[in-house]
């Protein structure tokens, strides 16, 4: 079992412990660390367990947890590290919710957003069953198909308003403010399930209480994908819903009656703030080192261990 997973096993048992840790790990300054510094941190972790109170070792752990894939031990690409999710996706999400004057801009921003989401989900997947294999054509097709479908589906509200010439105010409000919320939830859930579908099809490694690999389980893979999909759906759904509710209640209370031009800035700023707060919350909803009961595994794995509970890497 990778040192990162061993750390999550001991330090990430509760939601609040994970949340506190993620607030530290999402420090954007870690994006400035070079591959050499990250690899040096991994060496320090392997040799410096007795220096657990040393600040250097604490920083090494944070650098490893936030920048290294727990299955391969490889350094994650900078743009797909957890710390990069907010600075990259925030402007894309805000732009995708704008009332564009045409269909092409709506499709363009949806394409950028869905492409990044697919790349982030793929880079942070569980790849334990893929070791020694190159990315298959099937995975490439899944990525391309997910992005293409999500781009078109995400732009549906804009397409309907523009192509059908919707001018009725309540109808426009529905397509501009109401429909994007469930649509964001569905597309986020769909994106994770499609991009990471091979985990449930091929299985992922499960470990016993001592950190030893027991075998590959499709049941654990399906559970890992489901947990990741739910967390991402909650992240984007909340980010889409809260700003709209804030603007709605502000208008109801007539707080923006005299300053209607403030509606757009309030919506955009609140979207970024909610996204920033929800990223560590969504990452903490489920343990990074997930658990699955022995009786829910395949029969051959049940016979390979006596532990009542086994562990797997959930991914992000």
pLDDT tens digit sequence for 256-268: 666 666 777 888 8
Buried b (16+ CB within 10 A) or exposed e, 66-84: bbbbbbeeebbeeebbbbb
Give SS3 for 136: coil
Q: Given this model, what pLDDT does residue 131 score?
A: 63
Of 195 and 250, the one with more pLDDT: 195
Nearest CA to 232 among 124, 129, 143, 157? 124
Kindly report, residue by residue over 226-244, the tens digit of the pLDDT.
Answer: 999 999 999 999 999 998 8
- Mean pLDDT, residues 110-138 taken together: 85
Kindly give the residue spans of alpha helices, DSSP state H, lying in 68-179: 85-96, 103-123, 137-154, 156-163, 169-173
What is the number of other CB atoms lying within 10 angstroms of the CB of residue 259? 10
| Joined tokens for residue 167 | 């001018």
How many angstroms separate the CA atoms of 288 and 26, rounded?
15
State the helix-helix crossing angle for 55-67 and 35-47, rounded to 10 degrees. Answer: 120
For the ranges 1-10, 71-80, 262-271, the lowest mean pLDDT is seen at 262-271
Q: Is pLDDT above 80 for 315?
A: yes
Indicate whether 139 pLDDT > 70: yes
Rg (CA), the chain: 21
CA distance 227 to 222: 9
Burial state string for 267-277 with b = 16 or more CB within 10 A and e = fewer than 16: bbebbbebbee
Distance CA 116, CA 186 (A): 17
Q: Which of 124, 122, 194, 202 is nearest to 153 (CA)?
A: 194
Q: At 294, list the tokens.
A: 């022995």
Per-residue CA distances from 292 to 3, 72, 289, 301, 302 (Å): 20, 22, 10, 12, 12
Question: How far apart, in whole angstroms, are the C-alpha atoms of residue 172 and residue 244?
Answer: 14
Rounded CA separation 113/154 (Å): 10
């Amino acid at each position: 079992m990778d040192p990162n997973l061993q750390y999550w096993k001991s330090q990430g048992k509760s939601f609040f412990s994970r949340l506190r840790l993620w607030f530290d790990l999402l420090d954007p300054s870690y994006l400035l660390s070079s591959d050499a510094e990250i690899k040096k941190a991994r060496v320090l972790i392997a040799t410096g367990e007795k220096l657990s109170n040393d600040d250097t070792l604490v920083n090494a752990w944070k650098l490893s947890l936030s920048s290294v894939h727990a299955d391969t031990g490889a350094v994650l690409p900078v743009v797909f590290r957890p710390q990069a999710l907010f600075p990259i996706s925030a402007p894309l999400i805000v732009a995708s919710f704008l009332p564009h004057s045409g269909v092409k801009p709506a499709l363009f921003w949806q394409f950028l957003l869905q492409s990044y989401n697919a790349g982030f989900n793929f880079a942070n997947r569980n790849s334990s069953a893929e070791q020694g294999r190159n990315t298959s054509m099937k995975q490439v097709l899944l990525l391309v198909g997910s992005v293409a479908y999500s781009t078109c589906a995400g732009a549906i509200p804009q397409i309907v308003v523009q192509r059908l010439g919707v001018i009725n105010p309540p109808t426009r409000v529905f397509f501009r403010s109401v429909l994007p919320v469930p649509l964001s939830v569905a597309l986020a859930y769909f994106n994770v399930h499609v991009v990471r579908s091979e985990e449930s099809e091929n299985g992922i490694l499960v470990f016993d209480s001592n950190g030893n690999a027991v075998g590959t389980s499709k049941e654990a893979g399906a559970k890992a994908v489901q947990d990741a999909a739910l967390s991402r759906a909650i992240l984007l759904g909340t980010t889409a819903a809260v700003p709209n509710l804030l603007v709605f209640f502000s208008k109801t209370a007539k707080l923006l009656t005299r300053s209607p031009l403030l509606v757009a800035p309030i919506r955009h700023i609140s979207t970024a703030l909610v996204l920033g707060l929800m990223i560590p919350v969504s990452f903490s909803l489920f343990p990074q080192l997930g658990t699955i009961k022995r009786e829910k595994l395949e029969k051959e794995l049940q016979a390979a261990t006596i532990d009542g509970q086994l562990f797997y890497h959930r991914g992000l």
